A and B are shown apart, each in its own frame.
Chain A
Amino acid sequence: MSEEITRLVEISIRDLHGIASRAGAPAVAREVLRLNTAVRDIARPALHFSDQPADFPAALLRHADPANA
Chain B
Amino acid sequence: MLELSLAEIAAAIRARQVSSLEVTLAAIEQAEAAQPLTNAFVEIFADRALDQARALDAELRAGHIRGPLHGVPLAHKDCFERAGAVMGVGSRLLAESAPGTRDATALAKLEAAGAVDLGRLNMNEFVAGPTGQNPHLGDCRNAWDADRVSGGSSSGSGSAVASGAVYGALGSDTGGSIRLPAAMQGLFGLKPTYGRVSRAGCFPRAHSLDCVGPMTRTAEDAALMLGALAGADPRDPTSLDAPVPDYAARIATAAAGSRIVTLADPGAMEPDIAARIEDLLRVATELHGPIARRAFQEFGACDALGDVLSKVEASTLHGHWMATRGGDYSTAVHSRTEPGLHIPAQRYLEALALRGRMLDQFLATVMADADALVCPAIPIAVPTRAEADMEAAGRVFPVVAALTSWTRPFSYLGLPVLTVPIGLDRNGMPVAAQLVGRPFGEARLLALGAGLSAALGWSFTPGLPARIHGDAA
Which A residues form the contact surface with B (CB < 8 A)?
8-9, 12-13, 16-23, 27-29, 31-32, 34-36, 38-40, 42-43, 46-48, 51-61, 63-65, 67-69
Contacts and interface: CB of A to CB of B under 8 A. Distances in A.
A38 B301 contact: yes
Contact-residue size bin, chain B (C-beta under 8 Å from the other chain):
35 or more
Nearest to B318: A19
21 contacts: A8-B342, A16-B341, A22-B334, A23-B396, A28-B339, A35-B347, A39-B304, A39-B305, A42-B304, A46-B357, A47-B353, A51-B354, A56-B356, A60-B195, A63-B359, A64-B438, A64-B441, A65-B444, A67-B245, A67-B254, A67-B441
Interface stretch (B29-37, B322-330, B379-387): B322-330
B240 A47 contact: no
B394 interface: yes
Most B CB contacts (10 A, CB to CB) among A23, A51, A63, A65 go to A65
Interface string B238-262: 1010110100001000100000000
Nearest to A23: B335
A69 B245 contact: yes
A53 B441 contact: no
Contacts, number: 160
Contacts of A39: 301, 304-305, 308, 347, 350-351
Interface of B: 193-195, 238, 240, 242-243, 245, 250, 254, 298, 300-301, 304-305, 307-308, 311, 319, 322-323, 326, 329, 331, 334-335, 338-339, 341-344, 347, 349-357, 359-360, 363, 371, 394, 396-397, 414, 437-444
Nearest to B351: A39
Given A59-B360, A69-B245, 6 more contacts: A22-B334, A39-B351, A42-B298, A47-B350, A56-B356, A59-B356
A32 to B, nearest CB: 5
B194 A55 contact: no
A55 B355 contact: yes
A36 B195 CA distance: 27
A36 B341 CA distance: 12
Contact of B339 (A8, A31, A52, A58): A31
B51 to A, nearest CB: 37
A35 B307 contact: yes
B214 to A, nearest CB: 17
Contacts of B363: 63
Nearest to B305: A39
Nearest to B438: A65
Given A35-B339, A64-B439, A69 B243 contact: yes
Most B CB contacts (10 A, CB to CB) among A57, A60, A68 go to A68
B254 to A, nearest CB: 5
A35 B311 CA distance: 10
B166 to A, nearest CB: 28
B91 to A, nearest CB: 15
B342 to A, nearest CB: 5
B300 A38 contact: yes
B334 A48 contact: no
Most A CB contacts (10 A, CB to CB) among B319, B341, B349, B360 go to B341
B193 A60 contact: yes
B304 A35 contact: yes
Contacts of A64: 242, 438-441
B190 to A, nearest CB: 14
A58 B356 CA distance: 8
A67 B195 CA distance: 17
Contact of A27 (B394, B437, B438): B394
Contact of B371 (A55, A58, A65): A65
A23 B124 CA distance: 18
A65 B44 CA distance: 39
